[in-house]
Chains A and B, each alone.
Chain A
Amino acid sequence: MKGTPLIFERSVPGKEGFRLYAPDVPGVNLSETIGGGLLRQNLDLPEVSEVDVVRHYTKLSKMNFGVDDGFYPLGSCTMKYNPKINEEITAYPAFTELHPYAPEELAQGTLRFMYEMQRFLCEITGMDYFTLQPAAGAHGELTGILIIKKFLEAAGQKRSRIIVPDSSHGTNPATAKESGFEIVKVKSGMNGLVDLEELKKNVDENVAALMLTNPNTLGLFEKDIPEISHILHEKGALLYYDGANLNAIMGIARPGDMGFDVVHVNLHKTFSTPHGGGGPGAGPVGVKAFLRDFLPKPIVEKEGDTYFLDYNMPRSIGRVKAFYGNIGVVLKAYAYIRSLGARGLREVSEMAVLNANYLKKKIQDLFEVPVDTICKHEFVVSAGNWKKKNGVRALDIAKRLLDYGFHPPTIYFPLIVEEALMMEPTETEGKEALDAFADSLMRICDEAQENPDLMQNTPHHMPVKRVDEVKAAREMKLKAGQL
């Protein structure tokens, strides 16, 4: 990063940002208590003052870009604005100062919002029980598939395969593999949806589950979902819902009603908790009643007016996270749901879909459209036309968008679309923002037309110019000392 040294490069030998006073307790000899083998003599830490540290990171933070800065149409990620009331509620000392080992009678408020959140998520997704433990979407997937695995084992069934569509999120096959299953990929049909004949050919008594997101990664609603569900269930296989795209259907359609047996939802996407740069996220998992016993324990239950943690789940897959999950994140999502209400959540999805279709209509003539139909909350266009015409790629266009002050869309995903640009405007953008983005894309396409060379090393006006991703991947240097 030219012009911005690393904190290590600011290091001046002997410079200190602290002063230790003489101890008023007896000293401890570390080489005796810890043992010489574990003690390091030289820690490669930067020697800087407090003000050096503050200025360094403040400078870096000013180069950052988030949803509070501008439009962020990163497809599949639902980068909606995160209302500040979520933060306000979560900052109450009643929540922040509660110790996770506090006895249940002193934690009734927290247990209550957890219990209500489990119920809300059941209501929104059409499931019967929820765990709030998983810390992210992929973690939710792993939890969900392990639940399915344990259920099948308990039923004495040996099923070794999991089906994923070729348009699926990369985390789906990764989850299946990590859980010990073989992966079977099913090709999409010409209409961008799961090909039922292909699916039928691949479903037999050896299939444990199909992992699917609906709407799918092309932003299209899998309208054959009842038939898909029937094909799976007829052979005793289960249906797993990747909740990545829940923002398209809240209050309108429910995975539980479509036949899904296990779902995960991404609170950090659909329910407006911060993500990008590490979140942390939260990926609660919901199941139909017959799978309740296999959920990670404990879940929150209620008896009379009292909330309690139910550990009496002998068939549980066990804990998947320390304590009860990223509870602060769950609380932010709870605040979001309570402030919008059922009707508000439905309006969220309606507006997300409307925004996506509005933007698609405005820009689709600039690109190739793999499947030209009304989309849900996101859509995919291909820059294949530009690549063929004058060598301008999706990557060049994405980088040029940075110069115009926008976060680029997702690129090169889904893999089934060449030079893909995947855009998800979300419901929180006004018409002005969508128009400004569309206008900029039009200008960029004009530039690509008139001056393709200009596009080769975009961005031009960012503190960091085009990064060499190939070099970064081939010559991986992960520690400051390697640079």
Chain B
Amino acid sequence: MSKIPKNLLYTEEHEWILVEGNRGTIGITDHAQDALGDVVYVDLPKVGDKIVKGETFGTVESVKAASDIYAPVSGTVVEVNEALKDSPELINRSPYDEAWMIVVELDDESELDELLSPEDYENILEGE
């Protein structure tokens, strides 16, 4: 069973977000990395870019497939995890910690209400 930390919010597309104040740290879940297999490449936005809830903001590529990463919220990118460029394997090793992808400043905190709780996300995974 894949790990689902209790302090995060989730999307149906298997992204997570850690909210602190008006900032959110975003990555992909343990389930996502397991389904993808060994990640070999990550494409992320730049600091200053805008991301829009529900739209793609990046790509993760494994030997099996390339998958879009969807924005759980709208906002402005303020930090990007540059370490992933040279070490995409961090996504497999540490999806919730070392492999955070971007930090955004939230446009609208009410968007968070539409995200999945850890329990809801777990239910979705069990249904799959």
Contact = CB atoms under 8 A, between A and B. Distances in A.
B65 A469 contact: no
Contacts of A412: 64-65
A418 B67 CA distance: 14
Nearest to A418: B35
Interface residues of A, number: 9
Contact of B88 (A413, A418, A469, A474): A474
A470 B65 contact: no
| A contacts with B: majority SS | loop
Interface string A464-483: 00000110011000000000
A105 B64 CA distance: 52
Most buried by B among A412, A415, A474: A474
Contacts of B63: 469-470, 473
Most chain B CB inside 10 Å of its own CB: which residue of A170, A415, A473: A473
Contacts of B65: 412-413, 415
Nearest to B38: A470
B41 interface: yes
Interface in B81-112: 88-89
A413 B64 CA distance: 8
Interface residues of B, number: 12
B18 interface: no
Interface in B60-79: 61, 63-67
A204 B4 CA distance: 37
Nearest to B55: A182
A415 B64 CA distance: 9
Contact of B40 (A170, A415, A418, A470): A470
B40 A474 contact: yes
Contacts, number: 20
A170 B63 CA distance: 14
A106 to B, nearest CB: 49
A470 B93 CA distance: 14
A76 B41 CA distance: 26
B29 to A, nearest CB: 15
A173 to B, nearest CB: 10
A137 B61 CA distance: 23
Interface in A382-415: 412-413, 415
Contacts of A474: 40-41, 88-89
Nearest to B64: A412
Contacts of B41: 473-474
Nearest to A394: B64
A215 B29 CA distance: 33
Contacts of B67: 415
A328 B38 CA distance: 41
B35 A473 contact: no
A334 to B, nearest CB: 37
Nearest to A412: B64
A473 B40 contact: yes
A170 B64 CA distance: 12
Nearest to A470: B38
Interface of B: 35, 38, 40-41, 61, 63-67, 88-89
Given A418-B35, A473-B61, A474-B88, 16 more contacts: A170-B66, A412-B64, A412-B65, A413-B65, A415-B65, A415-B67, A469-B38, A469-B63, A470-B38, A470-B40, A470-B63, A473-B40, A473-B63, A474-B40, A474-B41, A474-B89
16 contacts: A170-B66, A412-B64, A412-B65, A413-B65, A415-B65, A415-B67, A469-B38, A470-B38, A470-B63, A473-B40, A473-B41, A473-B61, A474-B40, A474-B41, A474-B88, A474-B89
Interface of A: 170, 412-413, 415, 418, 469-470, 473-474
The 6 closest A-B pairs by CB, nearest first: A473-B40, A412-B64, A470-B38, A469-B63, A474-B40, A415-B65
